[in-house]
Chain A
Amino acid sequence: MQFYLDTFIIAFAYAAMGWGIFISLKIFNIPDITTDGSFTLGAAIISVVMPKFGWIIAMVISLIGGFLAGCATGFFHTKLKVNALLSGIITMTALYSINLMIMGRSNIPLLGLSDIFSSVSIFNDVVFDKLLVIVVTLVVLGLILGLILTSDYGLSMRATGNSESMIRALGVNTDTQKIVGLGIANAFTALSGGLVAQSLKFADINMGIGIVIFGLGAVMIGETLAQFFKIKSIILYLPAVVMGCLIFRLLMAFCLQLGVDPNGLKLITALFVLIFVSLPQFKKRFS
Chain B
Amino acid sequence: MLELINVNKTFAKNTPNEVNSLVDINLKLASNSFTLIIGSNGSGKSTLLNTIAGTVQVDRGKIELMGQDITSKPDFKRSSMIARIFQNPLMGTAPDLTLLENFRLASLRNKPKGLHWMNKKQFSAQVSESLVRLNMGLENKLNQNVGSFSGGQRQAISLLMATYADLKLLLLDEPTAALDPRSSEIVLKLTHDIIAEQKITALMVTHDMKHCETMGDRLIQMHQGKIIRDVQLNQNRPHYEELMAWFK
Q: Do A and B bind each other?
A: yes
- On A, residues with C-beta under 8 Å from B are 147-148, 150-153, 155-156, 158-159, 162-163, 165-174, 232
Q: What are 7 of the A-B contact pairs (CB < 8 Å)?
A: A148-B115, A152-B108, A158-B97, A159-B105, A169-B53, A169-B75, A171-B77
* A171 lies within 8 A of B80 (CB): yes
Known contacts A148-B115, A170-B108, A158 near B75 by CB under 8 Å: no
Q: Which residue of B lies closest to A154 (CB)?
A: B115
Interface code B57-95, partner A: CB below 8 Å = 1, 0 otherwise?
A: 000000000000000001111011001101000111111
Find out whether the CB atom of A165 lies under 8 angstroms from the CB atom of B86.
yes
- Are B145's CB and A158's CB within 8 A? no
Chain A positions within 8 Å of B109 at CB level: 170-171
B106 touches A170 (CB 8 A): yes
Complex CA–CA separation, A169 to B165 (angstroms):
12
Q: Which residues of A contact B145 (CB under 8 A)?
A: 232
What is the total of A-B residue contacts with beta carbons within 8 Å? 87
Q: What's the dominant secondary structure at chain B's contact region?
A: loop
Interchain CB contact under 8 A, B76 and A171: yes
Contact at B96–A162, with CB atoms within 8 Å? yes
Is the Cβ of A167 less than 8 Å from the Cβ of B94?
yes
The residue from A147, A155, A162, A168 contacting B113, defined by CB atoms under 8 A apart = A155
- List the A side residues contacting B114 at CB < 8 Å: 151-153
Measured between beta carbons, the chain A residues less than 8 angstroms from B76 are 168-169, 171-174
A171 touches B91 (CB 8 A): no
Q: Which residue of B lies closest to A165 (CB)?
A: B91
Give A150's nearest chain B residue, CB to CB.
B117
If the complex has contacts A152-B104, A152-B116, A159-B97, are A166 and B75 also in contact, measured as CB distance less than 8 A? no
Report which B residues bind A (CB closer than 8 A). Answer: 53, 55, 74-77, 79-80, 83-84, 86, 90-97, 101-102, 104-106, 108-110, 113-118, 145, 158, 161-162
Q: A152-B118, A153-B113, A156-B108 are in contact. List 7 more A-B contacts (CB 8 A).
A: A152-B108, A153-B114, A155-B104, A155-B113, A165-B92, A170-B79, A171-B76
Tell me if A152 and B91 are in contact (CB < 8 A).
no
> Beyond A152-B116, A232-B145, is A163–B93 a contact (Cβ under 8 Å)?
yes
Distance in Å: Cβ of A184 to nearest Cβ of chain B: 12
Chain B residues near A174 (CB, 8 Å)? 76
Chain B minimum-CB-distance residue to A159: B94
Residue of A whose beta carbon sits closest to that of B80: A171
**Which of A153, A163, A167, A174 has the most chain B CB atoms closer than 10 A to its own CB?**
A163
* Contact indicator A169/B117 (Cβ below 8 Å): no
- From B82, which residue of chain A is reached at the shortest CB distance? A169
Measured CB to CB, the closest approach of chain A to B205, in angstroms, equals 16
Q: Which residue of A lies closest to B83 (CB)?
A: A169
Q: Are A155 and B105 in contact (CB under 8 A)?
A: yes
Q: Across the interface, do A151 and B117 meet the contact criterion of CB distance under 8 Å?
A: yes
Q: Are A169 and B104 in contact (CB under 8 A)?
A: no
Do B79 and A168 touch across chains, with their CB atoms under 8 A apart?
yes
A39 CB to nearest B CB, Å: 27
What are the 10 A-B residue pairs with the smallest beta carbon separation, nearest first? A171-B79, A163-B94, A162-B94, A152-B113, A159-B94, A156-B113, A165-B91, A151-B115, A168-B76, A162-B96
**Inter-subunit contact A170/B75 (CB<8 Å):** no
State whether A152 touches B79 (Cβ < 8 A).
no
- Chain B residues within 8 Å of A153, by CB: 113-115
> Separation in Å of the A30 CB from the closest CB of chain B?
15
Q: Smallest CB-CB separation from A160: which chain B residue?
A: B94
Contact between A155 and B97, CB atoms less than 8 A apart: yes
A167: chain B residues at CB < 8 Å are 94, 105
**Closest residue of chain B to A177, judged by CB?**
B113
Chain A residue nearest to B93 (CB atoms) is A166
